[in-house]
Amino acid sequence: MGPGGACWRGGGAGARRWLSSRASAPRVCVVGSGPAGFYTAQHLLKHHDLAQVDIYEKLPVPFGLVRFGVAPDHPEVKSYGAEDNRILGIPGENLPGVYSARAFVGWYNGLPENRDLNPDLSCETALILGHGNVALDIARILLSPLDLLRKTDITDCSLAALACSKVKRVWLAGRRGPLQVAFTIKELREMINLPGTQPVLNPADFTGLENAVKDAPRPRKRLTELMIKTALQKPGEMAAQAAAARQWGLKFQRSPQEVLPTADGRRARGVRMALTRLEGSGESAKAIPTGDVEELECGLVLSSIGYRSLPLDPAVPFDTQRGIIPNSMGRVEGAPGLYCSGWVKRGPTGVIITTMNDSFDTAQSVLEDLRGGMLDVSVSREGFGAVGSILRSRGVRPVSFSDWEKIDAAEVARGKAAGKPREKIVDPQEMLQLIGH
């Protein structure tokens, strides 16, 4: 499980937790040190004086996608989890030049598994498929002035690649219309005001929408009004657009049909898009192909259509269609004593506040079941004492939190020397050598 979820016996956050107890001292094991795991552990410890919680993480560093998830210039909102991405399911999506948002974000954030992605940024036009905050994050990173990125904890290799990037135009395409975009006004405003970059929105896409959003919830109304205002502005009216060498824009009601190869078949040269019409309105509107198509030329394609969780273990129930563990208030269906939280509980939606509240709800279910005698806490288990013995018998040396603090100090020191908050170590072997493993 990624940091976006956890699942356990006697606990629940998006990894696995087994709870045992000496009648009054429940022992909880959390697998996954992302926000879902930490917030559930926090709630349990706060509301059960005798609870003991062990948190396990597959990497040598904690915090999951709080560390690796969103953009390096947004340290206050890093909060995306789940271990896989949704595939497009169209011809050509495996061509060189096509990347998942998850891999691309992992690359510039220093996620070890993505450190060798080496995306080709030699084209002038990039297409991002998706209208969410992650899509805007990627567009912003591709177009941001280097001076802004140098002050963040973006990895050195990513910064070097972006310094050589030829990308100067980014399109963000979605299947539905302006009233269905999933990004928020803060991220949109930041993109609109990005220095040296001009937003390109077609006024025709917003015809009649001012009336349509009159009775919409305030966040949706404000977001739509900002898009309309931006679409109607003349080039150069905003300070950020002065002498803009770069552009970005939103394309609506376009669904990808095929990634088109170059003549030699070696890489992507564009995407064929089906034009759609909307059936229904608001959040439930569906995109229906009209039969018309268009081709958009681009050498870089980034799929940002959502993340998905993966099955944890054959013994743990999993809904492959929805990408979640079937549950009721975090209680895993058909598995008494097993709980889940985060994206593996509810699907890949929301940011850190959503995950926090969701994790508290799951922890509350655990506490209620403890108090109601629903959990078998009659057998005492050793927790990490037993796990540590198993690891030693297999020749595995776990990384402790104090070991992590050494890695943390080294990263901060390297960052300070470079004028950054930190310089992330992206090679797990280097992390282990640093702590003497």
In this structure, the answer to whether residues 331 and 299 fall within a common structural domain is no
In this structure, the answer to whether residues 234 and 127 fall within a common structural domain is yes
Q: Report the sign of the C-alpha dihedral through residues 333, 334, 336, 338, in that order.
A: negative
Q: For 262-317, what is each residue's pLDDT tens digit?
A: 999 999 999 999 999 999 888 889 999 999 999 999 999 999 876 667 777 788 88
pLDDT at residue number 235: 61
Q: What is the mean pLDDT of residues 34-61?
A: 89
Q: Which residue has the higher pLDDT, 261 or 384?
A: 261
Which CATH number is 272's domain given?
A: 3.50.50.60
Q: Worst-scoring range by mean pLDDT, 137-146, 224-233, 318-327, 364-373?
A: 318-327
In this structure, the answer to whether residues 213 and 270 fall within a common structural domain is yes
pLDDT at residue number 118: 93
Q: What is the mean pLDDT of residues 124-131?
A: 96
In this structure, the answer to whether residues 49 and 137 fall within a common structural domain is no
pLDDT at residue number 354: 82
Count of structural domains, the chain: 3
Q: Which residue has the higher pLDDT, 113 or 376?
A: 113
In this structure, the answer to whether residues 250 and 320 fall within a common structural domain is no
Does 77 reside within a domain?
Answer: no
In this structure, the answer to whether residues 349 and 375 fall within a common structural domain is yes
Q: Determine contact, residues 50/380, Cβ cutoff 8 Å.
A: no
- The model's confidence at residue 254, banded by pLDDT at 50, 70 and 90, is very high
Q: Determine contact, residues 6/83, Cβ cutoff 8 Å.
A: no
In this structure, the answer to whether residues 236 and 169 fall within a common structural domain is yes
Does 80 reside within a domain?
Answer: no
- The model's confidence at residue 13, banded by pLDDT at 50, 70 and 90, is very low
Q: Which residue has the higher pLDDT, 24 or 14?
A: 24
Domain closes at, from 279, 305, 331:
305
Q: Worst-scoring range by mean pLDDT, 32-41, 273-282, 312-321, 394-403?
A: 312-321
Q: Determine contact, residues 341/13, Cβ cutoff 8 Å.
A: yes
Does 207 reside within a domain?
Answer: yes
Does 371 reside within a domain?
Answer: yes
Range of the domain at 389: 5-65+312-393
Q: What is the mean pLDDT of residues 193-213?
A: 93
Per-residue three-class SS string for the chain:
CCCCEEEEECCCCCCCCCEEEECCEEEEEEECCCHHHHHHHHHHHHHCCCCEEEEECCCCCCCHHHHHCCCCCCHHHCCCCCCEECCCCCCCCCCCCEEEHHHHHHHHHCCHHHCCCCCCCCCCEEEEECCCHHHHHHHHHHHCCHHHHCCCCCCHHHHHHHHCCCCCEEEEECCCCHHHCCCCHHHHHHHHCCCCEEEECCHHHHCCHHHHCCCCCHHHHHHHHHHHHHHHCCCCCCHHHCCCCEEEEEECCEEEEEEEECCCCCCEEEEEEEEEEEECCHHHCEEEEEEEEEEEECCEEEECCCEECCCCCCCCCCECCCCECCEECCEECCCCCEEEEEHHHHCCCCCHHHHHHHHHHHHHHHHHHHHCCCCCCCCCCCCHHHHHHHHHHCCCCCCCHHHHHHHHHHHHHHHHHCCCCCCCCCCHHHHHHHCCC
In this structure, the answer to whether residues 205 and 298 fall within a common structural domain is yes
Q: Determine contact, residues 365/371, Cβ cutoff 8 Å.
A: no
Does 73 reside within a domain?
Answer: no
In this structure, the answer to whether residues 292 and 339 fall within a common structural domain is no
Q: Which residue has the higher pLDDT, 246 or 27?
A: 246
pLDDT at residue number 154: 92
Does 143 reside within a domain?
Answer: yes
- The token pair at 3 is 């940091």
Does 81 reside within a domain?
Answer: no
Q: Is the pLDDT of residue 436 over 70?
A: yes
Does 414 reside within a domain?
Answer: yes
pLDDT at residue number 267: 94
Q: Is the pLDDT of residue 22 over 80?
A: no
Q: Is the pLDDT of residue 21 over 60?
A: no
Q: What is the mean pLDDT of residues 225-253?
A: 81
Average pLDDT, the chain: 85
Domain closes at, from 281, 305, 329:
305
% of the chain at pLDDT higher than 90: 56
Which CATH number is 348's domain given?
A: 3.40.50.720
Q: For 135-192, what is each residue's pLDDT tens digit?
A: 999 999 999 999 999 999 999 999 999 999 999 999 999 999 999 999 999 999 999 9
In this structure, the answer to whether residues 265 and 249 fall within a common structural domain is yes
Residue 236, exposed/middle/buried by CB under 10 A (0-12, 13-18, 19+)? exposed
CB atoms within 10 A of CB 299: 21
In this structure, the answer to whether residues 226 and 299 fall within a common structural domain is yes
In this structure, the answer to whether residues 188 and 256 fall within a common structural domain is yes
| Cα dihedral: 332, 337, 341, 347 (round 10) | -10
Q: Is the pLDDT of residue 340 over 80?
A: yes
- The model's confidence at residue 5, banded by pLDDT at 50, 70 and 90, is low
Q: What is the mean pLDDT of residues 55-68?
A: 82
